[in-house]
Amino acid sequence: MTAAPARLQRAIHGYERVYARVHRPFLAELCRKECIVDENGLRMGDRYVMYFGERGLMHRHAALLLARSRARDLLEIGYGLGVFAQEAIGLGVKSHTIVEVHPDLAEQAMRWKAKLPNPEQVSIIHSSWQECLTRLGSSDSIMYDAGSPPRYGDYDFKFFVEVFCALKLRPGGRFSFWNHGKGLKSRRESLLRAHFQSVDCHDFRMEPVPAAWGRETPDFTIVVARK
């Protein structure tokens, strides 16, 4: 993937084998699914995966992640509905790189970019995050919100923290991710504290709950880790 210390290279090679066997078929199937955007949010098939009603959450999330990184470089993994992207641009980042694997959503991201006052600030990469590591420069802030194959969410998160952030997040940079529910899983908290100088958790309850809400709770914990 990219030049890296021997320890990280071993992790990369091991992950590449799993990626070829598990992730490529999963992503191929995912990208064949039609994305439907309606008044409530984004559906894949008959299931909502994002809601416009989450705008307040995304505003708070962007503000916490970028609190000390304004006018600097942001990497966002997963465009989705573009709600986080819009909030981040409004906070005045210098550059904003978005990696989106689904062709429909990557196309929507390109249309959103074209309407911006300064579209040159934004780069859209149509790819999985795993396959564009060599194309990415370093960033001051990273937002991670990408789907994983069933039972591989923690595996991907571990690789992202231990390898991706080690290579692509600058010293002092800030990392965050989608974290539904109240609190942080102990496994992820231990991983973050082993690789970052600080880990801050901020509770957020979504009110009102969006129409067509299909999740078990409106509670979230916004996590910001500083390298």
pLDDT per residue over 93-124, tens digit each?
A: 999 999 999 999 999 999 999 999 999 999 99
Angle of the 83-90 helix axis to the 103-114 helix axis, nearest 10: 30
Residue ranges, the chain, pLDDT below 50: 1-2
Quick: pLDDT tens for 157-176: 999 999 999 999 999 999 99
Q: What is the pLDDT of residue 3?
A: 58
Q: Are 143 and 110 in contact (CB under 8 A)?
A: no
Q: What is the pLDDT of residue 212?
A: 85
* CATH number of this structure's domain 6-226: 3.40.50.150
Q: What is the pLDDT of residue 217?
A: 92
So where are the chain's domains?
6-226
Q: What is the pLDDT of residue 224?
A: 97
Taking the CA atoms of residue 88, residue 210, residue 49 and residue 163 in that order, the dihedral angle to the nearest 10 degrees is 40
